Amino acid sequence: MSKFVTFVNTNLEERGWTYNELARRANLSSGGVSRVMTGQRNPGFDFCVGIARALSEPPEKMLRLAGLLPALPPAVAEESEVVGLFRRLSSQTRSVIVITLRGLAGLPVRAALNETQAA
């Protein structure tokens, strides 16, 4: 079973939804949902976007699970620690860090700096 189907089935089970309920919330045909979920048809772009909307998930996540977008690169070990620490900082400190990171990455910082000073 594909990652997409497994993910959707798990979500449906947790919510107590049927394929018909998912189709209604995703604004898709119940037959189309059934064909994708039973492996008779592959999910397309619009199908994934509808399912994402119904499940309150980012469309990119559903498109990646369906194989319509490439997988994200593996996370760097320090990534989750950095995100956790970043979220603990004040908005002003976060702005300074973003500007610094943009500079270190060789990206333009002038526009970001002007936005920070205007705030």
Q: Which of 48, 42, 43, 50 is nearest to 61 (CA)?
A: 48
Per domain, the residue ranges of the chain are 3-65, 79-118
Backbone angles phi, psi at 107, to 5 degrees: -100, 160
The model's pLDDT over 63-97, given as tens digits with 9 standing for 90+, comes to 999 999 998 888 777 887 888 899 999 999 999 99
pTM, whole model, 2 decimals?
0.65
Q: Which CATH superfamily is domain 3-65 in?
A: lambda repressor-like DNA-binding domains (1.10.260.40)
CB 94 within 8 A of CB 86: yes
The model's pLDDT over 47-61, given as tens digits with 9 standing for 90+, comes to 999 999 999 999 999
